[in-house]
């Protein structure tokens, strides 16, 4: 049964990747914006959807308080940052920063509250597949996609200061979307990992 469930997840992940690639292709065909893959693009919207789904799965994950709240903090700030243009235009300039700071202070309290259990949780978490997937996702998002989207890289690639902006945006935003998908897989696998531990009655703290 466990093998069938694992195999089914792999098939679903592969199908979603195919869907993401089709969305990227549709965005490339969309030419109403001055610059392709802008804030209003499907790729940008899907990034927000994936971040929202990650927060939902983490909210319903029981146990591993320290790691769970830490991930909620990170992905919550990511989601707020993705809404910077919308928040600045509807609430006020730099409002997203104040919301991020408030959210960080709130989540930091819960992380501090469960600080004593974090090391114990980490020992169990590192042994799970989700930890490696999350590490890969963060590396892709914070390092690879940023390096891949650097102006000086595309100037060298195209051999001119007037590099093709749409190509650069496509490379950076699509890589970022895939990084968010890897992180989503990591969060979902974390959810499955915790559920498996609870089912097998292993030592794990449940929500009070």
**185-200 pLDDT tens trace:** 999 999 999 988 877 7
- CA triplet 101, 102, 105: central angle to 5 degrees? 85
| Cα dihedral 79, 84, 88, 94 in deg (nearest 10) | 100
Q: Which two tokens stand for residue 156?
A: 């060298």
Q: Which of 57-71, 154-168, 175-189 has the lowest mean pLDDT?
A: 154-168
Percent share of the chain, pLDDT over 70: 93
Which pLDDT score is estimated for 137? 97
Would you state the pLDDT for residue 160?
A: 85
Q: Residue 205's pLDDT band (boundaries 50, 70, 90)?
A: very low
Angle at CA 54, nearest 5°, toward 38 and 189? Answer: 125
Give tens-digit pLDDT for 63-110: 888 899 999 999 999 999 988 878 877 887 878 889 999 999 999 998
Q: How confident is the prediction for the chain on average, in pLDDT? A: 87
Task: Calculate the CA 42 to chain-centre distance.
Answer: 16
Measure the CA–CA gap between 101 and 55, rounded to whole angstroms: 18
The pLDDT tens digits of the residues spanning 15-53 come to: 999 999 999 998 888 766 566 777 778 898 999 999 999
Q: Work out the pLDDT band at 174, boundaries 50, 70, 90.
A: very high
DSSP class of residue 63 equals S
Tell me the whole-structure pTM to 2 decimals: 0.88
Identify the DSSP state of 203. Answer: S
75: tokens are: 């992905």
In degrees and rounded to multiples of 5, residue 120 shows phi and psi of: -65, -40
**Cα 47 to Cα 179: distance, rounded to the nearest angstrom:** 9
């Amino acid at each position: 049964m466990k093998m069938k469930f694992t195999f089914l997840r792999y098939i679903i992940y592969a199908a979603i990747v195919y869907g993401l690639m089709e969305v990227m292709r549709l965005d490339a065909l969309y030419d109403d914006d001055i610059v392709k893959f802008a804030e209003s693009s499907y790729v940008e919207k899907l990034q927000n959807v994936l971040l929202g789904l990650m927060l939902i799965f983490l909210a319903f994950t029981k146990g591993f308080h320290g790691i769970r709240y830490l991930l909620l903090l990170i992905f919550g700030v990511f989601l707020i940052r993705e809404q910077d243009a919308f928040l600045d235009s509807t609430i006020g300039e730099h409002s997203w920063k104040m919301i991020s700071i408030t959210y960080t202070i709130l989540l930091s309290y819960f992380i501090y509250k469960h600080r004593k259990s974090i090391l114990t949780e980490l020992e169990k978490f590192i042994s799970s597949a989700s930890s490696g997937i999350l590490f890969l996702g963060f590396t892709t998002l914070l390092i690879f996609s940023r390096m891949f989207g650097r102006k000086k890289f595309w100037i060298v690639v195209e051999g001119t200061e007037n590099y093709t902006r749409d190509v650069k945006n496509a490379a950076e935003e699509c890589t970022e979307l895939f990084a968010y998908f890897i992180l989503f897989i990591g969060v979902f696998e974390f959810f499955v990992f915790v559920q498996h531990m609870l089912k097998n009655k292993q030592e794990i703290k449940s929500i009070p």
